[in-house]
Amino acid sequence: MAATAEELLGKQNGATLGRVLGRGSVGEAEEGSDGTMSATVRIPEDELVYEPGVLVLPHGGVLELTLINDDKNTHCAVLPSNGDTQFLWLVNHSKGTATLELDGPGYYWYGSTTGNDEGRGLTGAIVVQGDVPDEARLDRPPQPQV
Amino acid sequence: MATEYVDAGSAIPYATLSTSVGKAPPVAQGVTYDRILNAREEPQNWLTYYGAYNGQRYSPLDQINASNVGQLTPQWVFQAGNTGLRSGATTYAWEASPIIVDGVMYVSGWDGQLWALDATNGQELWRYRHASPFDVSLCCGNVNRGVAVAEGKVFMTTLNAHIIALDAETGRKIWDKPFGDVRAGESATVAPLVVKDMVIVGSSGGEFGVRGHTDAFNRETGEHVWRCYMIPKPGEPGSDTWPADGEAWQRGGANCWITPSYDPDLNLLYYGTGNPCPDFDGGVREGDNLFTDSGVAVDADSGEIKAHFQYTPHDLWDYDSVMEHLLFDLDGQKLAAHFDKNGFLYILDRTDMSPVRVVPFVDRIDWGEVDEKGNVTPKVYPDKEGDPVHFWPGPAGAKEWTHACYSPDTELLYVPVQDVGATATRRRREFKESIPYWGAGVAVDADDQTGYVSAYDPRTGQERWRWTSPKDLCMCSSLLATGGGLVFGGEPSGEFNAWNAESGDLLWQFQCGSGHHSSPSSYSVDGRQYIVAPSGWGGWAEGFLPKMLGSGHGSALFAFALPE
**CA-based nearest distance A67→chain B, Å:** 9
Strand B6-10 relative to strand A75-79, pairing = unpaired
User: How many Cβ pairs within 8 Å bridge chains A and B?
Assistant: 161
Tell me how far apart the alpha carbons of residues B112 and B129 are, in angstroms, rounded to a whole number: 5
Q: Which residues of chain B lie closer than 8 angstroms to A78, CB-CB?
A: 14, 83-84
Share of chain B above pLDDT 90, in %: 94
Per-residue pLDDT, A8: 87
State how far the Cα of A132 lies from the Cα of B136, in Å rounded to an integer: 13
Task: Tell me if chain B has a CB within 8 Å of the CB of A54.
Answer: no
Is residue B2 very low, low, confident or very high in pLDDT (cuts 50, 70, 90)? low
Query: H or E element: which one contains B9?
Result: strand B6-10
Could A146 and B435 be called an inter-chain contact, meaning their C-beta atoms sit closer than 8 Å? yes
Distances B173 to A104, B114, B153, B169 between C-alpha atoms, Å: 17, 12, 9, 11
Bridge-based pairing state of the strands A61-69 and A94-102? antiparallel
Q: How confident is the model at residue B89 (pLDDT cuts 50, 70, 90)?
A: confident
Query: What pLDDT sits at residue B56?
Result: 98
pLDDT digits (tens, 9 = 90+) for A94-113: 999 999 999 999 999 999 99
In sequence order, what are the residues at sequence separation of 6 or more whose Cβ sits closer than 8 angstroms to the Cβ of residue A7?
A14
**Diameter of chain A measured on Cα atoms:** 59
Residue A104 amino acid letter:
G
B255 chain-A contacts, CB cut-off 8 A: none
CA distance A137 to chain B (A): 5
Secondary structure of chain A in the HEC alphabet?
CCCCHHHHHCCCCCCCCCCCCCCCCEEECEECCCCCEEEEEEECCCCCCCECCEEEECCCEEEEEEEEECCCCCEEEEECCCECCEEEEECCCEEEEEEEEECCCEEEEEECCCCCHHHHCCEEEEEECCCCCHHHCCCCCCCCCC
Q: CA dist B452 to A56, A84, B190, B476, B508, Å? A: 51, 40, 26, 9, 16
Q: Are strands A94-102 and B354-360 parallel, antiparallel or unpaired?
A: unpaired
Residue B170 to residue B148: CA distance in whole angstroms:
16
Is the predicted pLDDT of residue B1 greater than 60, yes or no? no
Cis check: omega of the bond before A52, within 30 degrees of 0: yes
The verdict on whether B62 is a catalytic residue reads: no
Nearest to A89 among B8, B133, B183 (CB): B8
Are B280 and B253 spatial neighbours (Cβ–Cβ below 8 Å)? no
pLDDT digits (tens, 9 = 90+) for B212-268: 999 999 999 999 999 999 999 999 999 999 998 889 999 999 999 999 999 999 999
pTM of the full structure: 0.98
Taking CB atoms and an 8 Å cutoff, what residues of chain A touch B17?
Answer: 87
Mind listing the pLDDT tens digit for each residue in A2-29? 788 878 888 899 999 999 988 889 999 9
Question: Which amino acid, B77?
Answer: V
Instruction: Give the model confidence (pLDDT) of A30-82 as tens digits.
Output: 999 988 999 999 999 999 999 999 999 999 999 999 999 999 999 999 999 99
Given the residues B111, B118, B288, B318, select the one marked as catalytic.
B318
Check CB contact under 8 Å for B17 and A128: no
Q: Which of A82, A83, A138 sits opposite B210 (nearest CB)?
A: A138
pLDDT at A142 over 80: yes
From chain B residues 109-138, the ones with a CB under 8 A of any chain A CB are 127-136
Nearest C-alpha in A relative to B215:
A136
